């Protein structure tokens, strides 16, 4: 991620400042650059001049496309210039159309997306769940999700979640790079779930095998930063995302990193749904990695 190019989708809401703060931290850590991005729909009742506090009436003629684009570009520049160091700031990028599709398409030229989960009233669907969920599934690069409750303030303790699948391992290189650069501790976590209606607890042999497997995985995949790695097996009668939520509440992390795809054939219903629920409910920033999407041109070069 050295010299990483960071895409930050914005909708001009206050929530955007948390994405910009997180992006600046990542950019500073990896000597990267930040590109503000905005996607808009050219329909007057969704997005018109009144969006920017300008008075308008039903008889106000709509601006031509070039004027609308210039208006958005100027506002985007104004929105970010007092929040991001000038040396980190790239040229703003605008797009017209479906936000999730536009973000994912534009991201082909970037290394990471940093986005907020809350948007402005009346257009909140831009960043409320539906769009962020779609970006998590569609984006070919890592996606960092933050908001007011889960700001990226420091990078000292990172949870890296795994279900032992090859897909989940695709998040490991990203975690290694961040931990190495920030000198952060990685807590490699596996959830051993059980149905309390079937048995009180998993048997000791199962628990021992899972612990051993977790330690072996840490040695195989994270051996070059083993001094920064801890392992933790969580035995829970809750769903995986509930177990991660409880762990995060009891032992807060600065960042949670996980894959959006897990070990079953119905991928998104398992690890993917866990990731989506974790993003919604934990109080820490979440960095997701989608291992099933094609690499970008930058990655292939």
Q: How many domains does the chain have?
A: 2
Does some domain include residue 151? Answer: no
> Residue 287 belongs to a domain with what CATH number?
3.40.50.620
**Rounded to whole angstroms, how far apart are CA atoms 150 and 116?**
10
Are 19 and 108 in a shared domain?
Answer: yes
Does some domain include residue 251? Answer: yes
Share of the chain above pLDDT 90, in %: 50
Are 21 and 141 in a shared domain?
Answer: yes
260-283: per-residue pLDDT in tens? 875 543 333 344 467 778 888 888
Q: Which residue has the higher pLDDT, 102 or 300?
A: 102
Does some domain include residue 226? Answer: yes
pLDDT at 239: 86
> Of 146, 172, 196, which residue is a domain's last?
146
Q: For 223-239, what is the mean pLDDT?
A: 94
Q: Which residue has the higher pLDDT, 44 or 107?
A: 107
Q: Which residue has the higher pLDDT, 223 or 125?
A: 223
Are 229 and 205 in a shared domain?
Answer: yes
131-170: per-residue pLDDT in tens? 777 888 888 899 999 988 889 999 999 999 999 998 899 9
Query: Going by C-beta distance under 8 Å and a sequence separation of 6 or more, which residues neighbour residue 274?
Result: 161, 239, 240, 241, 244, 258, 262
- Bridge partners (DSSP) listed for residue 36: 8
Are 188 and 234 in a shared domain?
Answer: yes
pTM for the full predicted model? 0.83
Are 174 and 138 in a shared domain?
Answer: no
Q: For 32-43, what is the mean pLDDT?
A: 86
Q: For 234-240, what is the mean pLDDT?
A: 91
Range of the domain at 125: 5-146
Are 235 and 295 in a shared domain?
Answer: yes
């Amino acid at each position: 991620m050295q010299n990483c190019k960071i895409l930050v989708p914005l909708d001009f809401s206050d929530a955007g400042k948390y994405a910009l703060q997180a992006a600046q931290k990542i950019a500073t850590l990896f000597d990267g650059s930040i590109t503000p991005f905005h996607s808009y729909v050219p329909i007057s009742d969704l997005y018109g001049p009144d969006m920017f506090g300008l008075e308008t009436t039903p008889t106000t003629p709509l601006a031509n496309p070039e004027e609308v684009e210039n208006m958005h570009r100027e506002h985007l520049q104004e929105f970010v210039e007092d929040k991001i160091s000038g040396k980190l700031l790239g040229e703003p990028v605008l797009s017209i159309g479906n936000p999730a599709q536009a973000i994912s398409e534009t991201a082909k030229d970037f290394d990471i997306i940093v986005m907020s989960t809350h948007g402005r009233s009346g257009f909140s669907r831009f960043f409320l769940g539906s769009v962020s969920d779609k970006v998590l599934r569609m984006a070919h690069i890592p996606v960092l999700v933050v908001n007011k409750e889960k700001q990226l303030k420091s990078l000292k303790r990172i949870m890296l979640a795994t279900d032992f699948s090859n897909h989940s391992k695709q998040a490991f290189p990203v975690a290694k790079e961040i931990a190495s650069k920030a000198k952060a501790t990685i807590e490699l976590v596996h959830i051993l779930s059980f149905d309390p209606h079937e048995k009180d607890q998993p048997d000791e042999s199962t628990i021992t095998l899972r612990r051993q497997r977790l330690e072996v995985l840490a040695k195989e995949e994270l051996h070059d930063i083993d001094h920064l790695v801890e392992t933790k097996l969580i035995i829970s009668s809750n769903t995986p995302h509930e177990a991660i939520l409880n762990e995060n509440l009891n032992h807060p992390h600065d960042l949670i990193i996980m894959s959006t795809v897990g070990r079953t054939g119905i991928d998104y219903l398992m690890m993917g749904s866990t990731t989506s629920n974790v993003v919604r409910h934990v109080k820490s920033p979440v960095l997701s990695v989608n291992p099933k999407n094609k690499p970008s041109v930058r990655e292939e070069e």
